[in-house]
Chain A
Amino acid sequence: MEMKGITKTFPGVKALDDVNLRVEEGGIHALVGENGAGKSTLMNILSGVYPYGSYEGEIIYEGERCEFQKIKDSERKGIVIIHQELALVPYMTIGENMFLGNERGSRYNVNWNATFTQAEELLETVGLSEPPQTLVKDIGVGKQQLVEIAKALAKDVKLLILDEPTASLNESDSRKLLDLLLTLKKKGMTSIIISHKLNEIAYVADKITVLRDGMTIETLDNEAHVIDEDQIIKGMVGRELTNRFPARENVAIGEVSMDIRNWTVHHPLAPERKVVDNVSMYVRRGEVVGISGLMGAGRTEFAMSIFGRSYGVNISGEMTLCGKKVKLTSVQQAIDNKLAYITEDRKGNGLILSNPIRVNTTLAKMDQVSRFGVIDKDKEFEIAETYKEKLRTKTPSVEQNVGNLSGGNQQKVLLGKWMFTEPDIMILDEPTRGIDVGAKYEIYSIINALAKEGKSIVMISSELPEILGMCDRIYIMNQGRFVGELDREEATQEKIMTLILKQGAKQ
């Protein structure tokens, strides 16, 4: 299988730029790279999620040129992708799920006997001893992952693509899965695996391709299963740091404004799982502190649990704000204690897209624009105007619905909304996600200005250059824990990535 010169552009960004990938039959090929490096996009092209014609370049599979219009086309060729978020129907049985869209028997008469006997055989192949009549919701994530593979086998898979298959699995389940891949390899199956766990890759992969910023950096041989982790890390992050960040004037850093000790948060649906595990951190006035880590490290969950317990259950730990011990149990309390959380998901959690800028700006602090519950719309208008000017939001009027604005301008509205609550501590979660370079620069300038005013900024970001360019101090988070803390001077992309990946490997 070979992919040649693949280029894919999304509006405003070039996700893939002339990518070449050669996968040998009967081998396991690993793809590594940062979040947003283009791994998933590449695999979506291969499996027909993005139809032929929406990208440039060509796919050659078993000596033929392929033009997949939809997923079914690639599946007919034996290419099956298993996404990171499992696509199983929880209230259907394992057997039903395995043959969903691929039913046994005829269209108007499903043959359940054949379904379940075949399911049983395939489950045996993947080493899952669960009756196929079990509902999918009743088995753990690890077993669900095996069901996904069995489902792929049911489609006569020849090339299996796994997108971070072990991200939500524990040690022993991961090992089981990887061994299964090795067994299947012996039977002649080819697989491509995307993963952040270098030790796992070293264990299973024959070849490793490193992607960065939509480009293939290098492909390494791993026949001997001893890889140079440093080389991979360097390949992943080795971009040049250009001057994309406004200079920070020397800000006087004051006393500690927020101090968190031994913070632990459990998953709301699976209370036995710790999403944030014994985290301690502090931030001072005028300081910009970064929390770096990969997606799913628990950064957002940590921030939301601080912000009036808006995420998680069984939260424990101590929180001190400006020298005063507090226990915030609602968002309202958090706002009253001058805490602000600017969400990473501005469309889902942050803004009301169907409402104008004016309404969005004041929503978190209505008592400032109302008396006895009656809103002073003129005042509201004035405030929205002020923040529009201050943040230079590009819009014809503050009566414009937020849904009509570009991503960068939406982010500014969101920032304005939380600046209006006059917080001391602002937690910014991926503040520049999905916005263009110019707007990013403006957002950075705003953050610097806020720090200069004496506010404490906690910035969560997956983009290493951004973290390095903006933060005075950086915490590194992985799998719910803080695995390191670096000062501005000592921090480099390589050091951070090493901490993330090696620490992850240890667990």
Chain B
Amino acid sequence: MNRVKEILKKNTMLFILLIVALFFGWKTNGVLFDPQNVTNLIAQNGHVVILAVGMLLCILTGGNIDLSVGSVVAFIGAVAGKLMVTYKMNFGLVIVICLVLGILIGMWQGFWIAYIRIPSFIVTLAGMLLWRGVALIILDGLTISPFPDAFKMIFNSYIADTFGGSINVTCMLAAVLACLAYLFVFINGRRNRQKKGYAAEKLLPSAGKAGVICLVILLAAYRMAQFQGLPTILVILAAVVGVYTYYTSKTVGGRYLYAVGGNEKAAKMSGVNTNRVLFFAFTNMAFLSAVAALVCVARFNSAAPTAGKNYEMDAIASCYIGGASAYGGTGTVMGAVIGAVFMGLLNNGMSIMGVDSNWQQAIKGLVLLAAVAFDVISKKKSR
């Protein structure tokens, strides 16, 4: 019994996510888990996941948030539209320009935050107004479309199935490979630890966790294989999540993010260049905003000056739902992803159920508070 409690406590949000998913599955008569809807869910929320990952790094450094995210998405989208659609520039070159532009925006904001020490809230609030304004200027208030197909192929299509058949074999194959890779890392890590004589985690719970993860991957892949197969956005997401999970948990740079957020003075007295850490977090945020911008323009097939409204709020909410501390120092990339999926599920589920959109807003607000409150209270009790 105690062990069950322990597992529940460690993965509170995951279980809440599961309950909400089952609830909507039941209320929508299973439409939620339809092959097409699973694919939709991923496509609709890809940008939120990307932004949440970036936002997490900012929040880790001590509760700093970036409010300019939505405006940067609009601005980069506008640049992409202008260059690709109006000036017919090569789409590969445009992608590079957009990403570099994102980095430059991040460096600009990061400079004020990290080196001049203006609170991030203020700098990014200014950025929110600035980049939205620039987007409006570039687009002259109009929407640009359509984007070239080759560009959309990269961000908004499906990995071609080379085998044929009733279901998409490539998709299943990729899932199986992903599971095998995961299991390999898992088993290898355990064996390494045992070989060197460190106390490994208990076999049953960790193997159970690995099993559940593989099962979810395979089930999701099976659903998608019944539709059009593996969406390219999912590959991009997997890459982003993978890279940043690795960065935050395995590298010195990632360690410094947690150190600065956990106790900036102590980090400083340990020789950590805290300014540089802060600078990096915000530069990276704007870079990922640029990636999200490309994903968005490809999906909507247009660049609009109003794009990206409230994206920053979705990203921030995802991080907090995913267990990041508002004061910095704790939180994981996977948590932020779970938070993003949770938000997406809520939107998607309520839409299918036909809940009035005005009500959706209000319900979302309450559910968000309830989810975080539940997490906070359950953690308090354990102390």
Contacts and interface: CB of A to CB of B under 8 A. Distances in A.
A379 to B, nearest CB: 10
B262 A381 contact: no
Contact of A352 (B193, B252, B253, B263): B263
B251 A332 contact: no
B271 to A, nearest CB: 4
Contact of B199 (A307, A332, A363, A397): A397
B251 A364 contact: no
B193 A378 contact: yes
B266 A350 contact: yes
A370 B269 contact: no
Contacts of B269: 307, 310, 331, 341, 343, 349-350
B192 interface: yes
B198 A354 contact: no
B250 A374 contact: yes
A335 interface: yes
Interface string A100-140: 00000000000000000000000000000000000000000
A46 interface: no
B75 to A, nearest CB: 31
Contacts of A367: 252
Given A364-B270, A378-B196, A381-B198, A370 B330 contact: no
B46 interface: no
Interface residues of B, number: 26
Contacts, number: 79
Q: Quick one: which of B255, B273, B329 has the most chain A CB within 10 A?
A: B255
Contact of B270 (A331, A373, A377, A397): A331
A417 B270 CA distance: 9
A363 B268 contact: no
Contact of B255 (A310, A332, A375, A378): A375
Given A310-B268, A341-B269, A378-B192, A363 B259 contact: yes
B250 A375 contact: yes
Contacts of A335: 271
Contacts of A359: 255, 258-259
A359 B193 CA distance: 18
Contacts of A343: 269
Contacts of A381: 198
B27 interface: no
A348 interface: yes
B267 interface: yes
Given A363-B272, A373-B252, A375-B255, A353 B263 contact: yes
B250 A377 contact: yes
A58 B48 CA distance: 63
Given A348-B265, A352-B259, A353-B262, A373 B198 contact: no
B252 A370 contact: yes
A370 B251 contact: yes
Given A352-B266, A352-B329, A370-B252, A331 B271 contact: yes
Contacts of B329: 352, 354-355
Q: Quick one: which of A363, A375, A378, A382 has the most chain B CB within 10 A?
A: A363
Nearest to B196: A378
Interface string A399-422: 000000000000000000100000
Interface in B243-266: 250-253, 255-256, 258-259, 262-263, 265-266
Interface string B265-286: 1111111110000000000000
A330 B274 CA distance: 12
A352 B262 contact: yes
A374 B192 CA distance: 17
A79 interface: no
A201 to B, nearest CB: 36
Contacts of B266: 348-352, 363
Contacts of A330: 271
A378 B270 contact: no
Nearest to B263: A352
A386 B255 CA distance: 21
Contacts of A348: 263, 265-266
A364 to B, nearest CB: 4
B273 A352 contact: no
A253 B195 CA distance: 44
A266 B252 CA distance: 34
Contact of A349 (B198, B253, B255, B265): B265
A349 B268 CA distance: 8
A1 interface: no
Q: Quick one: which of A332, A335, A355 has the most chain B CB within 10 A?
A: A355
B262 A355 contact: yes
A366 interface: yes
Nearest to A367: B252
A203 B267 CA distance: 47
B268 A331 contact: yes
B265 to A, nearest CB: 5
A102 to B, nearest CB: 33
Contacts of A350: 266, 269
Interface in A403-461: 417
A498 B271 CA distance: 39
Contacts of A331: 268-271
Contacts of B268: 310, 331
Interface in A321-339: 330-332, 334-335
Nearest to A307: B269
A330 B275 CA distance: 13
Interface string A370-391: 1001110110011000000000
Contacts of A355: 258-259, 262, 329
A358 to B, nearest CB: 11
A362 to B, nearest CB: 8
Nearest to B272: A363
A332 B271 contact: yes
B251 A378 contact: no
A374 B251 CA distance: 4
Contacts of A397: 199
Contact of A354 (B196, B252, B262): B262
Contacts of B199: 397
Contacts of B263: 348-349, 351-354
Nearest to A310: B269
Contacts of B255: 359, 363, 366, 375
Nearest to B258: A355
B258 A373 contact: no
A213 B32 CA distance: 71
A363 B250 contact: no
Interface in B207-265: 250-253, 255-256, 258-259, 262-263, 265
B258 to A, nearest CB: 7
Contacts of B267: 352, 363
Q: Quick one: which of A352, A353, A359 has the most chain B CB within 10 A?
A: A352
A354 B330 contact: yes
Contacts of B250: 374-375, 377
Nearest to A334: B271
A307 B268 CA distance: 12
Contacts of A341: 269
A348 B125 CA distance: 30
Contacts of B258: 352, 355, 359
A225 B196 CA distance: 73
9 contacts: A343-B269, A349-B266, A354-B330, A364-B270, A373-B251, A374-B252, A378-B193, A378-B196, A381-B198
Interface of B: 192-193, 196, 198-199, 250-253, 255-256, 258-259, 262-263, 265-273, 329-330
Given A331-B269, A363-B266, A370-B252, 8 more contacts: A307-B269, A331-B268, A349-B263, A354-B262, A359-B258, A359-B259, A377-B250, A382-B196
Q: Which 10 A-B pairs have the closest CB atoms?
A: A352-B262, A364-B270, A332-B271, A331-B271, A352-B263, A363-B270, A366-B252, A349-B265, A335-B271, A354-B262
